[in-house]
Structure 1
Amino acid sequence: MPEDKGLVLIVEDEAHIADLQRLYLTRDGFGVHVESDGRAGLAAARRLRPVTIVLDLTLPGLDGIEFCRLLRDSGDWTPVVMVTARDEEADRIIGLELGADDYLTKPFSPRELVARIRTVLRRAAGPPAEPVLTLGALTLDPARRTVHHEGRPVDLTTTEFNLLAYLMRRPGQVFTRAQLLSHVWGYADYRDGRVVDVYVSQLRAKLGGAGPIRTVRGVGYSLGPA
């Protein structure tokens, strides 16, 4: 019998897609709860406390964008894998800016969905017993998954936290977008470089104008003293 890996909430209004996702996730050891309406899905997220949410962008009642906005505004940082039928950069960027941790464009393999969920959960778990990281006015605690900048707490999504932690473990080192995609997201596709830019922009906004992330023109990003 597969091990119990926790509950995944699927919010998907196309029953055949939800059934296929349920089948593969169940085989992999996850419990699964399905809702076909955005409002019912949001209520289930608050009631069931899943380990991950697979969220369709286009839903009746409440679309995926508003779902994600309301979830994050309430302080719920459960990892979200957003699913969209439209392969448009604007859709992906809006979802990421609202706090989605990953995205998939339909049609996709259910095996890829399972792999993406595993990756998101590994990132959320973080490395065990790692010491607190400090760089200037910035402090990151990998065990508690907390960040403070100039003494104030900073709320980050799972992916924002992992990107910042990766850079803080290697201060001064310059990374290309492809390298960051590979090491932080678990895959590398030069066409997705804009995703890295979005997350860096989000981190800068949350850390304030004196944040430590530096752009290295023509190359990528580095972390220097705050």
Structure 2
Amino acid sequence: MKKILIVEDEDSIRGFLKINLKRNGFEVLEANNGEDGLKILDLEEPVLIILDVMLPGIDGFEVCKRAREKKEKIGIIMLTAKGQDMDKIMGLEYGADDYMVKPFNPMELLLRIKAILRRIGVQDEKKVLKNGIFTVDTYGKKIFKGDKEIDLTPKEYSIIKLFIENPNRAFSRDELLDLVWGKDYFADSKIIDVNIRRLRSKIEDYSSKEGYIETIWGFGYRWRGEAREEYKK
């Protein structure tokens, strides 16, 4: 079971995070200050740290810096106060992979955690995902439609895997850009439309129609999990 270390001095936030992470299959380690967080980091092997900026004693920036020096590949998400843009910039400069602004959506945090773990090469414990006629082999990074493997680029694979992990969830173009390309990738979100169009041509029964991937006009895309009835005829 993958371990996540929460370093947060507010009991309510730490407890909220712990409940949601445990529900999603993570083992949770806790510290309410930076010194204890660094001690736990030395003793345990967390794959990721959720780190508050404002901590008693050693602040979150210093913890982030020391954590990155100790474990180059560990994922780090910093929690910042609303409107504190300088905190975000400093956190990234000290080695954080991402940041969340309080208050935050627990689903968004979970998706960002998964995106970071993919980027740093932490394998999913669940090797096979299934949705309708689609199967994802996360170990071999392959997608099958029925018994036929679909030839995908790495980005196309990441998009469809994200969709299958979150069926019926609507993703904005900006969310897909952040979760698949990373927050440090600066590009027009139209690159999402290009990749979705290519993906549809490979997985849809009729490439000119919307079946498995549904467009949410003016927003983004959603995985339906099955083709519309009119496209099955």
Correspondence 1:73 to 2:69: yes
Identity among equivalent positions (%) equals 38
- For residue 92 of structure 1, what is the aligned residue in structure 2? 88
Give SS of 2:79's match.
Answer: strand
The match for 2:182 among 163, 181, 185 is: 185
**TM-score (norm: length of structure 1):** 0.55
Distance, in Å, in 1 between the alignment partners of 2:17 and 2:186 is 24
The one-letter code matched in structure 2 to 1:9 is L
> For residue 185 of structure 1, what is the amino acid of its counterpart?
G
Matches within 5 A, 1:148-187: 181=178, 183-185=180-182
State how many pairs are aligned: 138
Tell me, yes or no, if structure 1 residue 17 matches structure 2 residue 13: yes
Q: TM-score, normalised by structure 2?
A: 0.53
Distance 1:48 1:74 in 2: 12
Q: Does 2:57 correspond to 1:61?
A: yes
Structure 2 residue runs of 5 or longer lacking an equivalent are 124-153, 156-173, 188-233
CA deviation after TM superposition for structure 1 residue 12, in Å: 0.5
Q: Work out whether 1:108 is the aligned partner of 2:97.
A: no
Aligned equivalents of 1:77 and 1:124: distance in 2?
6
1:50 aligns with 2:30: no
State the shift of 1:85 in Å: 1.4
List per-residue Cα deviations over 1:79-109 (Å, max 9, x = no partner). 1011111422211011001110010000001
C-alpha RMSD over aligned residues: 2.9
Q: 1:186 to 1:65 in 2, by over 3 A?
A: closer
* 8 Å contact from structure 1 (residues 182, 188) kept in 2: no
The residue type paired with residue 99 of structure 1 is G
Instruction: For structure 1, list consecutive stretches of 5 or more residues without a partner in the other structure.
Output: 128-164, 167-177, 191-226
Which amino acid is 1:108 matched to?
Answer: F
Q: Return the alpha-carbon distance in structure 2 between the equivalents of residues 75 and 51 of structure 1.
A: 10
Whether the aligned pair in 1 keeps the contact of 2:73 and 2:120 (CA below 8 Å) is no
Give the Cα separation in 1 of the matches to 2:100 and 2:108: 9
Query: How far apart in 1 are the matches of 2:89 and 2:183?
Result: 18
Displacement of 1:117 in angstroms is 0.7
Asked if the contact 2:7/2:51 (under 8 Å) is kept, the reply is yes
Cα deviation, 1:105-156, whole Å, max 9, x if unaligned, reads 00001222111111110111189xxxxxxxxxxxxxxxxxxxxxxxxxxxxx
